[in-house]
Structure formats: C-alpha cells, structure tokens
Amino acid sequence: MLSLAKHALSRHKNWPQQWRSPEPKSHYDVVIIGAGGHGLATAYYLAKHHGITNIAVLEKGWLGGGNTGRNTTVVRSNYFYPQSTRFFDHSLKLYEGLSRELNYNLMLSQGGVTTLAHSRHDMEMFERWSNGLQLEGVDAEMLTTEQIALRCPLLDTSAQARYPIWGGFIQHRGGVVRHDAVAWGYARAASALGVDILQNCEVTDIQQSAGRVQAVNTNRGVIRADKVALAVAGHSTVLADMLGLALPITSQPLQAMVSEPVKPVLNGMYISPIVHAYVSQSDRGEILLGGGADRYASYGQRGNLPLMEETIAAMLGLFPSFSRLKLMRQWAGIVDISPDTSPIMGKTPISGLYISGGWGTGGFKAIPAGGECMAYTIAHDRVHELIEPFGLERFVTGALIDEGAASGVAH
C-alpha cells in the first residue's frame, strides 16, 4: 500500500524492474529450461525451501509467453482419481495463500466451477464423482436443474435445449487466477532469492556423458549444470529428443477466445463435457470461451476456424443469448498431451535430468504444487510422494491414471 501511494506521487514512472536480467554464468547447480509457471515456481521453491540459489531459468522467448500466458486460468481440484485429487487440491490450497506468500496480487476469484450433466447417466456418474471428491475432503456438491437456473439465469435450462440440462455438480472453491501475475509473481520472488532468469535464451542442445546430463548449448553460449529440468510444455519432446529420450507426449494446439466486454452476467465457470465447451466472464467483462484441443498434432500456435466454429456452436447451445456478442480475440497455445492425460513429473532415465511435462490442457492450476514437488525432487534426487504416481515409469508398468473425463474439456 505504501509503495502504491509513493509511486502514485511520481505518476508510476519510477517502479523498479521486477526481476534482474543478468548475463549467463558458465555454471549453475540447476538449470531449468522454460520460464513458464512450472519452471519459475520450481526455481522459487528450490531457493525458498531448499536453499539452492545458483539456478538459471532459461527462456527462449519472454517469461510467461508460453501456455502460462495463454490459458483460460481455471483452477479447481475436482479430478476423478484420488492421486490426482490430492495433488490438485494441494495446488489449490497453495493458490489460496499465494498472493500473500509472493506479496503479489494474483486476483484469485473463487466463483465456483459447475460441471453440467445432460442425461440421467451423467447424473449417476457425477454422484459417484462428487462423492469420491467429498471422501478426499474436496468441496463438491450436486446441483439440481433449478439450482443451476438460479445461479445462472442465462443458461438454457429448458427442456427444449439441444442438450437439456439435468443438473450438475459444483466445486465452490474452483475459480480463476490472473495468469500473467502467477508468472510475474514467481519470477519476482525467485529473482529476489538469487535465481537468474535469462530471457531470449534458447536451448539448442543438451550434452550428456556416461548417462549423466552435463551442460546445455544455448544461443547465448554453453552453460554447464549439475542438474537440468525440462519445463517446456508443448516442446517437451523437442528437448527430450536432444538426449535421445522418447516421451509419450503429443503436441497439439488448444485455443480460446473472448467476446467484447459486457456487464457482469456470469458468476463462476460453466463446463459441459458433452458439448465440449466451457464459459466464464473475465473481470474486464469479456465472455471467455474454451473447448477441446485440436485433434491434429502441430506446433502452429494459432488455432483454426473449424475448431472455433465447433466451440462457438457448442457454447450457443448452452447460452443462446450470446449469439449477439461480437468475438474480440482468439489465440492458441501448444499443449503437451500424455496418453492418460495426466502429467509426467519426476526423474528420467538420464541421471540429473528431471521432467515436468504432460500438463496438456490443465497444467495452470497445478503450478504451485508442481513447482513445490519438483523442487523437492530435484533437491533430494528423490521423488516427492505426492507426485510418485505421475512418473514416466507408469507407461512401462501400466499404472496409468486416466483423467480423460476430468481433464478433457474442463481445463
């Protein structure tokens, strides 16, 4: 508050830089590739919890310019399997205290996330799902059609709807967080603890010898490292290929869009797994609309018209009155999807190389817990118990965590 008042007097012209931009050193204890939320959070917790500060976070573009700055900002923990629910609920709890911890307003808004049911079978499934969540201590509650109509009068809850709404379930603590602020908040805090954040620093190769990672080649020179972590989302396979490591990940565009701003008409987020769309309203008043990932693997960070049309048509089935809104902006990110749509976190067969990937369409909500658990794993070279089920080895043992239904569209 005092800072705000002080800088207001000088018309906000003298704010200091939020993070340092040093020249790369020749050696770091830990090099993290990718300055998205996961890379930055991992660096922050390594410094904060484990006292390791000789760290570089290397970013080929600008900090937070990947999926972290392109997502629809949904945070929730209503996953299907207990392992996922525990991990994502820990993340939500960390988010609940993060503005204070980082001294950075992340604009967490917990307006609730409502998942809509369109048949008797959906309702049965949702009963089981929300009961399972309650057993894990997560705040899930079944809603009738009437309760949903009261919460959201603009939703077409009539029997004539293309997919009539039978009810649904809500996670009250679900909501949204300002995405850029998450990246900036972690970056500022990590930099203050001594972490070097190097933007415009692209990793072009990774050196290994005798099964151990040694150094990274970048467009700003070779940087030696004792430990290297990959946190590059849609480019995970590109980086792993540099070491001959095959990852079970496909990179696909995922797009979203916003309308012109309108007065407040929506409280919280509404998701329909059947029509494959989710809708919320931003603080600026824009109606924010998202759908599923493109079925076509690509690195084209643009999205495309056919999928936009599909998502808009799906949304109009739920909110017919939105047909009169003008679309203002559309964008896409490249998401890294694993076969069971669960993340891949932990150690790799290469000594000193760690991975935080496979975040697919839903890794924003996982940034605090992902960062915290990866930091522990890197510091101790021992996998944190919360992320043990999410190791690469599950694709050999077959212990998959198929979150297709819970992570599919409800990003």
Residues that bind ligand FAD (CB under 6 A): 33-39, 58-61, 65-68, 70-74, 202-203, 231-233, 235, 239, 254-256, 290, 333, 335, 359, 361-365, 411
**What would the 3-class secondary structure string for the chain be?**
CHHHHHHHHCCCCCCCCCCCCCCCCCEEEEEEECCCHHHHHHHHHHHHHHCCCCEEEECCCCCCCCHHHCCCCEECCCCCCHHHHHHHHHHHHHHHHHHHHHCCCCCCECCCEEEEECCHHHHHHHHHHHHHHHHCCCCEEEEEHHHHHHHCCCCCCCCCCCCCCCEEEEECCCEECCHHHHHHHHHHHHHHCCCEEECCCCEEEEEEECCEEEEEEECCEEEEEEEEEECCHHHHHHHHHCCCCCCCCEEEEEEEEEEEECCCCCCCEEEECCCCEEEEECCCCEEEEECCCCCCCCCCCCCCHHHHHHHHHHHHHHCHHHHHCCEEEEEEEEEEECCCCCCEEEECCCECEEEEECCCCCCHHHHHHHHHHHHHHHHHCCCCHHHHHHCCCHHHHCCCCCCHHHHCCCC
- Encoded amino acid at 399, one letter: A
- Which one, 167 or 268, has the nearer CB to ligand FAD? 268
Q: How far is the CB of 391 from ligand FAD (least distance, A)?
A: 17
- Which one, 144 or 301, has the nearer CB to ligand FAD? 301
Q: How far is the CB of 381 from ligand FAD (least distance, A)?
A: 21
- Encoded amino acid at 410, one letter: A
Q: Which of 107, 39, 111 is nearest to 267 (CA)?
A: 111
At 288, phi and psi to the nearest 5? -100, 130
- Which one, 127 or 202, has the nearer CB to ligand FAD? 202
Q: How far is the CB of 314 from ligand FAD (least distance, A)?
A: 15
- Encoded amino acid at 65, one letter: G
- Which one, 166 or 231, has the nearer CB to ligand FAD? 231
Q: How far is the CB of 10 from ligand FAD (least distance, A)?
A: 33
- Which one, 223 or 256, has the nearer CB to ligand FAD? 256
Q: How far is the CB of 97 from ligand FAD (least distance, A)?
A: 18
- Which one, 167 or 175, has the nearer CB to ligand FAD? 175
Q: How far is the CB of 6 from ligand FAD (least distance, A)?
A: 33
- Say how far apart CA 87 and CA 83 lie, in whole Å: 6
Q: How far is the CB of 366 from ligand FAD (least distance, A)?
A: 6
| CB of 243 closer than 8 Å to CB of 326 | no
The burial of 408, by beta-carbon neighbours within 10 Å (0-12 exposed, 13-18 middle, 19 or more buried), is given as: middle
- Which one, 198 or 318, has the nearer CB to ligand FAD? 198
Q: How far is the CB of 186 from ligand FAD (least distance, A)?
A: 10
> How many C-beta atoms lie closer than 10 Å to residue 222's C-beta?
14
- Which one, 72 or 157, has the nearer CB to ligand FAD? 72
- Say how far apart CA 60 and CA 81 lie, in whole Å: 35
- Which one, 147 or 250, has the nearer CB to ligand FAD? 250
Chain position whose Cβ is nearest to ligand FAD: 36
- Which one, 112 or 333, has the nearer CB to ligand FAD? 333
Q: How far is the CB of 162 from ligand FAD (least distance, A)?
A: 24
- Which one, 39 or 168, has the nearer CB to ligand FAD? 39
Q: How far is the CB of 256 from ligand FAD (least distance, A)?
A: 4
Q: How far is the CB of 159 from ligand FAD (least distance, A)?
A: 31
